[in-house]
């Protein structure tokens, strides 16, 4: 179902008004569940055919018990958070986090290894921008610099070497987390070149006990995984390269079998028609893996939607918005905000 025909490319789920029911957040608006009543809570610039907001991350930044929203902008060159005022009327107050560089996207990850994904990991669109993660502390964000520059289009986090610490993954290699991620030195391993990706997930795809990588080419054709071998090398395996612009890819158990699936979709007009395959039909898909008798991994592609105006945008979110055996899929995009419920 279409929630909004607008052009916001973000899609997040959180209980904004504290009534115990999930709401939807996208760009300038939040939508009160379960009827998705539209509320404007801030103003965001529209430029170059984009709503200048490329991630909406729900987080109680100041510890007041209300969910705030952390967002990022490319053209406005900012990472910021919008403070939830509770029942007070009017627009929310914006607080800057970083204002020097364009931000392609950002994610909530667990970088202090406390089991809570409360740290902000942005992907800056400027090679001169230091690779930095941000920790919320007392209503402010503390920056932690990992390297003095950035490493291309794409970012990710997960335990790559199995030591129990969350590492940072870039398209050009991965940073090994120190014992103290706040003050220690992060060791870089230039083990691969992935290309221009979206978020890079760490997941043991084939069950051999070694963490692998799962990602997609954000502005080209290709969803793929990188197998970590016993020798410490990496082997690329294509999952699907029949469609382009899989900018957002998430891992979730969509069919309830206890195994992780991949959910993604084709972003609509990511670069206003200049990217490969941008004018081809939109689609939302999920992929289910299984192991063959020979031990290799195969993937089954399932359609959620194809050929309508629903695309993957900058955020694909999987969450239970209403009681049921399986989660829902929420997608934003220049062509609208859509909610897909399992049949």
Tell me what pLDDT residue 343 has.
81
Tell me what pLDDT residue 324 has.
85
What residue has token string 């020097």? 100
Q: Encode pLDDT of 230-246 as tens digits.
A: 999 999 999 999 999 99
> Nearest 5°: CA angle at 54, between 17 and 137?
60
Residue 80, both tokens: 């910021």
Tell me what pLDDT residue 13 has.
98
Taking the mean position of all CA atoms in its chain, how far away is CA 149?
21
Tell me what pLDDT residue 323 has.
86
pTM over 0.95: yes
Tell me what pLDDT residue 341 has.
95
β-bridge mates for residue 200, sequence order? 156
Tell me what pLDDT residue 89 has.
80
Tell me what pLDDT residue 88 has.
84
What residue has token string 């539209």? 38
Closest CA to 62 of 144, 142, 136, 143: 136
Cα-based distances in Å from 80 to 7, 17, 161, 271: 20, 20, 32, 24
Residues of the chain predicted below pLDDT 70: none
Note whether 290 and 300 are within 8 A (CB). yes
Q: How many CB atoms lie within 10 A of CB 91?
A: 12
Query: DSSP string covering 291-339, please?
Result: E-TTS-EEEEEEEEEESSS----S-EEEE-SSSSSS-EEEE--TT-EEE
């Amino acid at each position: 179902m279409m929630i909004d025909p607008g052009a916001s490319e973000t899609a997040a789920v959180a209980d904004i008004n504290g009534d115990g029911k999930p709401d939807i957040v996208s760009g300038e608006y939040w939508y009160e569940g379960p009827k998705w009543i539209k509320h404007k809570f801030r103003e965001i610039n529209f430029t170059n055919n984009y709503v200048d907001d490329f991630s909406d991350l729900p987080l109680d930044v100041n510890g007041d018990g209300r969910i705030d929203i952390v967002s990022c902008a490319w053209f406005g060159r900012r990472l910021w958070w919008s403070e939830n005022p509770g029942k007070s009327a009017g627009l929310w107050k914006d607080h800057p986090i970083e204002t020097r560089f364009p931000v392609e996207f950002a994610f909530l990850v667990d970088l202090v290894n406390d089991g809570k994904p409360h740290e902000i990991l942005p992907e800056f669109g400027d090679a001169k921008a230091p690779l930095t993660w941000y920790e919320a502390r007392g209503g402010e964000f503390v920056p932690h610099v990992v390297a003095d520059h950035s490493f291309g289009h794409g970012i990710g986090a997960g335990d790559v070497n199995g030591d129990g610490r969350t590492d940072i993954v870039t398209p050009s290699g991965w940073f090994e987390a120190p014992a103290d991620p706040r003050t220690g030195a992060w060791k870089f391993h230039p083990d691969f070149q992935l290309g221009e990706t979206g978020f890079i997930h760490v997941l043991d795809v084939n069950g051999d006990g070694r963490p692998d990588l799962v990602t997609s080419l954000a502005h080209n054709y290709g969803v793929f995984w990188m197998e970590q071998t016993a020798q410490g090398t990496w082997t690329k395996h294509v999952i699907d390269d029949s469609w382009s612009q899989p900018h957002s890819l998430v891992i979730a158990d969509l069919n309830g079998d206890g195994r992780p699936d991949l959910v993604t979709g084709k972003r609509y007009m990511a670069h206003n028609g200049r990217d490969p395959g941008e004018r081809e039909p939109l689609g939302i898909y999920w992929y289910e893996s299984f192991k063959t008798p020979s031990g290799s991994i195969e993937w089954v592609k399932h359609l959620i939607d194809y050929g309508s105006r629903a695309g993957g945008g900058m955020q694909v979110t999987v969450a239970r918005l209403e009681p049921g055996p399986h989660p829902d899929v929420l997608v934003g995009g220049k062509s609208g905000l859509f909610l897909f419920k399992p049949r």
